[in-house]
Amino acid sequence: MKSFKIGDLTVKLPIIQGGMGVGISLSGLASAVANEGGVGVISCAGMGLLYPKFSKDYLTNSIMGLKEEIRKARAKTRGVIGVNVMVALSNFSDMVRTAISEKADIIFSGAGLPKNMYKSRKSVLLELLNIEICAILYNVYPKRKGNLTLLHYDAILFDVDGTLIDSAPGILNTLEEVFSSMGVDVARSDLGRYIGPPLRKSFGEHFSDPAKIEEATKRYRVSYAARGCHEGDVYPGVVEMLGRLKAAGLTLCTATCKPTHVVTPILEEQGLSSYFSFVGGASMDESRDNKTDVIRHVLDQPVMQGKRVLMVGDRCDDMQGARNCGLDAAAVLYGYGSREEVAPFAPVFMAADCKELMEWILRPVDELSHS
């Protein structure tokens, strides 16, 4: 059989695998076909039903599931991988944007040509096939300088301490006060590792009695609310970064282990609250006091439904929380963590400063070729 070309792609065998749903045409079948020289196709139909682990929202699960299937296929083959997105799907546009951001080689759309996809948008030809299904034109988003540019993410979750605000002075002073009041001798130089992780986890390293852990947590929160929360400063470049990201159409939220009612006035005092669509934080009790639970809480909010999400933080808890929720994570190296701490979690990017992080987030999806 003769090979043929679709754009700059060479298909060794003139075979295009059917994109069969639900749960039939996934990464395993698609990569096997691609390895034999044909075009492997992943079906989007019902993807959210196959990946209920990410959140309670079907649309979010569909996006995360498609990302995972494309990445699994890429790990198994260097051949041509396509995605079949039926126009009739309620989340058609989300699936198209996800396929593009994950660099699918071809997008097939059955049940009609999606003309509404490029109303008032700058469209770019991916591939055009007209067999029983056709490849679609995709477009760029969100708005930027009068044009629309497709970005890699729709929403960014930010840790607060060590990522947006240098809150070390207030945290360290409060920890020192609490440990001293409870008869624990801890050198100030050793307290830095407690910035970021949940309070109960940190106090649990010194107290085995749950009652003492709760007492220490209570004392910390009272003292921090009175004094410590005022002893921090916004990192250089944060305001510009948040402003640029919001202007680009991205949804911004926090995901911090500080209780929501504690972090909200801090963001207001620092002039950051207006940038965030939702302030996600811990609860006062133990029902939501680790980063994974906080991230899941944020992902369950209406403003986050159907979005491709990036988590940004400085510590291993941020990276682990993102991994547990199926999110990409970017690490900032100017906070309280280190390259050595976050590297084992394979963050998609490590930023030396806010400018570098901002430019990386705002880079357009413009590489259409298979790489």
For 40, what's the count of Cα atoms within 13 Å in the CB-facing half-sphere? 27
Element (H, E) at 58: helix 58-76
pLDDT at residue 144 in the model: 37
In this structure, the answer to whether residues 12 and 109 fall within a common structural domain is yes
pLDDT at residue 245 in the model: 92
Tell me whether residue 121 is in a domain.
yes
Query: Do 276 and 267 touch, CB atoms closer than 8 A?
Result: yes
In this structure, the answer to whether residues 77 and 194 fall within a common structural domain is no
Closest CA to 147 of 173, 122, 125, 165: 122
97 confidence band (pLDDT: 50, 70, 90)? confident
Q: Which of 214, 230, 246 is the last residue of a domain?
A: 230
pLDDT at residue 204 greater than cutoff 90: no
101-105, 288-292, 305-309, 364-368: which has the minimum mean pLDDT? 364-368
pTM over the 0.75 mark? no
In this structure, the answer to whether residues 172 and 159 fall within a common structural domain is no
In this structure, the answer to whether residues 29 and 86 fall within a common structural domain is yes
Residue 199: give its domain's CATH number.
1.10.150.240
Tell me whether residue 54 is in a domain.
yes
Tell me whether residue 224 is in a domain.
yes
What strands, in cross-sheet order, belong to the sheet with 80-84?
A: 39-43, 80-84, 106-109, 134-135
pLDDT at residue 188 in the model: 67
Looking at residue 313, what DSSP letter applies? E
Q: Mean per-residue pLDDT for 148-155?
A: 76
Residue 256: give its domain's CATH number.
3.40.50.1000
Q: Which two tokens stand for residue 198?
A: 């949940």
Q: Which two tokens stand for residue 61?
A: 């699960």
Interior/surface letters 127-164, b for 16+ CB within 10 angstroms, e for the rest: bebeeebbbbbbbbbeebeeebbbbbbbbbbbbbbbbb
In this structure, the answer to whether residues 65 and 91 fall within a common structural domain is yes
pLDDT at residue 298 in the model: 95
pLDDT at residue 55 in the model: 73
pLDDT at residue 254 greater than cutoff 80: yes
Element (H, E) at 349: strand 349-351
Q: Mean per-residue pLDDT for 358-369?
A: 74
pLDDT at residue 120 in the model: 34
pLDDT at residue 367 greater than cutoff 60: no
In this structure, the answer to whether residues 239 and 226 fall within a common structural domain is no
In this structure, the answer to whether residues 13 and 25 fall within a common structural domain is yes
139 confidence band (pLDDT: 50, 70, 90)? very low
Provide the domain count of the chain.
Answer: 3
In this structure, the answer to whether residues 304 and 343 fall within a common structural domain is yes
pLDDT at residue 94 in the model: 78
Tell me whether residue 325 is in a domain.
yes
Element (H, E) at 138: strand 137-139
pLDDT at residue 91 in the model: 78
Contacts (Cβ under 8 Å, ≥6 apart) of 248: 142, 143, 144, 151, 362
Residue 60: give its domain's CATH number.
3.20.20.70
What mean pLDDT, rounded, does the chain reach?
82
pLDDT at residue 146 in the model: 37
Note the pLDDT tens digit of each residue in 287-297: 888 899 999 99
Tell me whether residue 369 is in a domain.
no
pLDDT at residue 111 in the model: 66
Which of 120-129, 189-198, 259-268 shows the highest mean pLDDT? 259-268
Note the pLDDT tens digit of each residue in 64-75: 889 889 999 989
pLDDT at residue 371 greater than cutoff 90: no
Closest CA to 229 of 193, 256, 202: 256
Tell me whether residue 145 is in a domain.
no
d(CA 293, CA 87): 34
In this structure, the answer to whether residues 75 and 29 fall within a common structural domain is yes
In this structure, the answer to whether residues 354 and 238 fall within a common structural domain is yes
In this structure, the answer to whether residues 97 and 11 fall within a common structural domain is yes
> Do you find a cis peptide bond into 14, omega within 30 degrees of 0?
no
> In which domain, by residue range, is 39 found?
4-139
138 confidence band (pLDDT: 50, 70, 90)? very low
pLDDT at residue 143 in the model: 32
Query: Do 41 and 84 touch, CB atoms closer than 8 A?
Result: yes
In this structure, the answer to whether residues 173 and 161 fall within a common structural domain is no
81-85, 119-123, 175-179: which has the minimum mean pLDDT? 119-123
d(CA 56, CA 152): 23
* Residues forming a β-bridge with 84: 43, 108
φ/ψ bin of 250: left (φ > 0), alpha (ψ from -120 to 50), beta (otherwise): beta
pLDDT at residue 112 in the model: 56
pLDDT at residue 126 greater than cutoff 50: no
